[in-house]
C-alpha cells in the first residue's frame, strides 16, 4: 500500500512532467550543437532536478505562487506554460514568453503564479517572502514556494529573509535544491555545515523554523515533504526550509567562450574540474527519470508500452517547441526601448 495520497493518474502526471522537463532541457542542450549561435549568453539546465521540481509543484493549488532561480526552465513547463513560448524566449524571439526581453534566466508567467525570476543568486528569496506577505494580508490561504540553490544559502538575502519569514509566520516554503556545487566550488568548500558533515537544513534552526532534508531524486518523497511544509504554511504556522538533495546532470551552464559561439555543453564539473568520473557516473545510475519510470512500471502503475508512448509524445511536443522557436521572428530592434517604465 502506498503511504501517499497520489492516485494513478497523478503519478502518471508526475512521470509525464518529469519527462517533459528532461526532454526540454535535452533540446536546449542539443540546440548548441544543431543550431550554433541561436542561444546567446548563459543558459542553465535543470536535468537531474526533475523529481524535485515536479514533486514540489504537485503540492500547489492553482492560486499559489512561486519564484525561482535562473535555472528556471522546468517550473513553467510543469505549470502549463507552452514550451513553444519558453523555447522561443531562450532563442530570443518575438513570440517568446517574455518577448525576447528576458531570455533563459528570467522566465515569468504571472498568469500561472510564476511571478518573476532574478538571475542574481539568492536575491529572489526576499521576493518570494514579499509575495507571501501579500498572501498573508489577502488571507485567502495562498502559499508561495521559493526555489534556490545551496549556493544561495551563503547570501545575506537568505538569512535576512528566513528571519523575517519565521518572525512574521509567512506562508512560504523555502525549497533549497542542494546540487552540491556552486559552479565548480564544492559545497563542503564553502559551507560550514557541509564541512562538518551536517545537512544544510540545519540552517533552519537559526531561524526557529523546521528544516528537513529529502531525496530530491524521488518525486514522491519530495511531494510528501513539501506537502507537509505547504500545509503548515497554509494553516498560518509559518515557513519551512526543505533541503532537496539533487544532482545536476549537466554542467553549471553552457560554455562561456568569447569570441564565437558555444558549440556544445561542457562536461559536469565533477569530471571537468575535479576529475571525479566515479561520482558523476554514480549520479547517472541514480538518474531520477529512469528511476521513477522503473518504479512505476514495476509496481504496475504504468505499462512499459504506455511509458514509451508518453515519452514519444513528449519528444514530439519538444520538437515542435524547437521548430516554433526557430521559426519565430526576432523582435523589431526598436522595441528595445519599450517597457523601460510601466
Among positions 26, 82, 160, 313, the unique one binding other proteins when judged by CB under 8 A: 160
- Of the pair 236, 290, the CB lying nearest other proteins is at 236
Question: For residue 225, which phi and psi values (nearest 5 degrees)?
Answer: -65, -45
Q: Applying CB under 8 A, which part among 25-33, 103-111, 177-185, 296-304 lies near other proteins?
A: 103-111
Query: Of the candidates 204, 241, 215, 227, which has an alpha carbon nearest to the alpha carbon of residue 64?
Result: 227
DSSP string, 135-149: HHHHTS---EEEEEE
Contact status: 128 vs other proteins (CB under 8 A): yes
Tell me the three-class secondary structure of 249-292, residue by residue: CCCCCCCCCCCCCCCCCCCCHHHHCCCCHHHHHHHHHCCHHHHH
Interface pick for other proteins out of 55, 76, 126, 149 (rule CB under 8 A): 126
Q: Burial of 66 by CB count in 10 Å (0-12 exposed, 13-18 middle, 19+ buried)?
A: buried
- 1 binds other proteins, rule: CB under 8 A: no
DSSP state of 2: -
- Report the run of H or E that residue 114 belongs to, with start and end: strand 114-117
Q: What distance in Å separates the CA atoms of residue 271 and residue 283, rounded to the nearest whole number?
A: 12
Q: Which three cell numbers stand for residue 175?
A: 525549497
Contact pick of 163, 185, 193, 276 for other proteins (by CB under 8 A): 163
Considering only residues 12, 30, 40, 99, which one is a binding residue for other proteins as defined by CB under 8 A? 99
| Residue with smaller CB distance to other proteins, 157 or 242 | 157
Exactly one of 15, 75, 133, 247 binds other proteins (CB under 8 A); which one?
133
Among 4, 33, 120, 235, contact with other proteins (rule: CB under 8 A):
120
For other proteins (CB under 8 A), the number of binding residues is 42
Output 1 or 337, the one with its CB closest to other proteins: 337
Minimum Å gap between C-beta 342 and other proteins is: 4
What would the DSSP string read from start to end of 67-84?
A: EE-S--SHHHHHHT--HH
The nearest distance, CB 145 to other proteins, in angstroms, is: 13
Residue among 60, 72, 157, 318 that touches other proteins (CB under 8 A) = 157
**Interacting span for other proteins (CB under 8 A) from 21-29, 79-87, 112-120, 260-268:** 112-120
State the nearest-atom distance from the C-beta of 76 to other proteins, in Å. Answer: 12
What DSSP element (H or E) covers 312? helix 304-327
**99, 111, 167, 326 from 140: Cα distances, Å:** 32, 17, 20, 42
Q: Which stretch binds other proteins (CB under 8 A): 22-30, 156-164, 260-268, 291-299?
A: 156-164
Asked if 142 and 65 touch (Cβ cutoff 8 Å), the reply is yes
Residue whose CB is less far from other proteins, 110 or 196: 110
Residues 26-65 that bind other proteins (CB under 8 A): 65
| Residue 72 contacts other proteins per CB under 8 A | no
Q: Of 110, 196, 256, 333, which one interacts with other proteins (CB under 8 A)?
A: 110
CA-based angle 202:18:115, to the nearest 5?
A: 65
Q: Which of 55, 76, 102, 211 binds other proteins (CB under 8 A)?
A: 102
CA distances from 227 to 50, 114, 115, 223, 305 (A): 17, 19, 21, 6, 31
Q: 314 near 23, Cβ under 8 Å?
A: yes
CA distance 89 to 182: 25
Contact segment (CB under 8 A) with other proteins among 70-78, 132-140, 188-196, 282-290 equals 132-140
Strands 181-182 and 185-186: antiparallel
**Residue choice 36, 63, 167, 327 for contact with other proteins (CB under 8 A):** 167
Footprint of other proteins (CB under 8 A): 65, 67, 98-102, 106, 108-110, 115-116, 118, 120, 123, 125-137, 156-157, 160-161, 163-164, 167-168, 338-342
Amino acid at each position: 500500500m502506498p503511504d501517499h495520497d497520489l492516485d494513478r493518474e497523478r503519478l502518471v502526471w508526475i512521470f509525464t512532467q518529469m519527462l517533459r522537463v528532461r526532454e526540454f532541457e535535452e533540446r536546449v542542450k542539443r540546440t548548441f550543437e544543431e543550431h550554433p549561435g541561436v542561444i546567446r549568453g548563459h543558459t542553465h539546465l535543470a536535468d537531474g532536478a526533475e523529481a524535485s521540481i515536479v514533486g514540489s509543484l504537485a503540492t500547489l493549488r492553482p492560486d499559489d505562487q512561486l519564484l525561482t532561480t535562473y535555472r528556471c526552465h522546468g517550473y513553467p513547463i510543469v505549470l502549463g506554460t507552452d514550451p513553444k513560448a519558453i523555447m522561443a524566449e531562450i532563442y530570443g524571439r518575438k513570440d517568446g514568453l517574455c518577448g525576447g526581453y528576458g531570455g533563459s534566466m528570467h522566465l515569468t508567467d504571472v498568469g500561472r503564479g510564476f511571478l518573476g525570476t532574478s538571475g542574481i543568486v539568492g536575491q529572489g528569496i526576499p521576493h518570494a517572502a514579499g509575495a507571501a506577505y501579500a498572501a498573508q494580508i489577502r488571507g485567502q490561504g495562498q502559499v508561495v514556494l521559493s526555489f534556490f540553490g545551496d549556493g544561495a544559502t551563503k547570501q545575506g538575502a537568505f538569512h535576512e529573509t528566513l528571519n523575517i519569514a519565521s518572525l512574521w509566520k509567512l506562508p512560504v516554503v523555502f525549497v533549497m535544491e542542494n546540487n552540491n556545487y556552486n559552479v565548480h566550488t564544492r559545497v563542503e568548500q564553502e559551507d560550514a555545515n557541509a564541512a562538518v558533515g551536517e545537512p544544510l537544513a540545519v540552517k533552519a534552526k537559526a531561524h526557529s523554523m523546521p528544516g528537513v532534508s529529502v531525496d530530491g531524486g524521488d518525486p514522491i518523497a519530495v511531494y510528501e515533504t513539501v506537502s507537509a511544509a505547504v500545509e503548515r504554511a497554509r494553516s498560518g504556522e509559518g515557513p519551512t526550509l526543505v533541503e532537496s538533495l539533487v544532482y545536476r546532470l549537466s554542467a553549471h551552464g553552457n560554455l562561456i567562450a568569447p569570441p564565437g559561439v558555444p558549440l556544445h555543453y561542457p562536461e559536469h564539473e565533477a569530471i571537468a574540474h575535479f576529475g571525479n568520473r566515479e561520482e558523476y557516473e554514480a549520479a547517472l545510475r541514480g538518474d531520477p527519470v529512469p528511476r521513477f519510470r522503473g518504479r512505476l512500471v514495476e509496481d504496475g502503475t504504468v505499462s512499459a508500452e504506455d511509458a514509451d508512448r508518453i515519452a514519444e509524445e513528449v519528444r514530439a511536443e519538444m520538437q515542435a517547441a524547437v521548430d516554433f522557436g526557430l521559426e519565430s521572428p526576432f523582435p523589431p530592434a526598436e522595441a528595445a526601448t519599450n517597457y523601460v517604465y510601466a
